[in-house]
Structure 1
Amino acid sequence: MKNTMIKLILGLGFTALLAGCSTNKANVDSYEQIKDEGKLVVGLDDTFAPMGFRDSNGDIVGFDVDLANEVGKKLDIDVEFQAIDWALKETELKSGNIDVIWNGYTITDERKKQVDFSSSYLENSQIIIVLEDSKIQTKEDLNGKVVAAQQSSSAVDAINADESNIVDSFANQEVVLYPSNNDVFNDLASGRSEAIVVDETLGRYYMKQNADVSYRVLEDNFGEEEYAVGMRKEDDQLAEAIDKALEELKADGTFDKIYEKWFAE
Structure 2
Amino acid sequence: MHRFEGTARYVATDDLRVAVNAAVTLRRPLLVKGEPGTGKTVLAQEIAAAIGAPLIEWAVKSTTKAQQGLYEYDAVARLRDGQLGDPRVNDIGNYIRRGKLWEAFTHPTPPVLLIDEIDKADIEFPNDLLQELDRMEFHVYETKETVRAAERPIVVITSNNEKELPDAFLRRCFFHYIAFPDRETMERIVEVHFPGIQRMLVSRAMEIFYAVREVPGLKKKPSTSELLDWLKLLLHEDMPLEVLQNRDPTKAIPPLHGALLKNEQDVMLFERLAFLSRRKPG
TM-score by length of 1: 0.27
More contact order relative to length (CA 8 Å, sep ≥ 6): 1
Which structure has the greater CA radius of gyration? Answer: 2
TM-score by length of 2: 0.26
- Answer 1 or 2: which has greater strand percent: 1
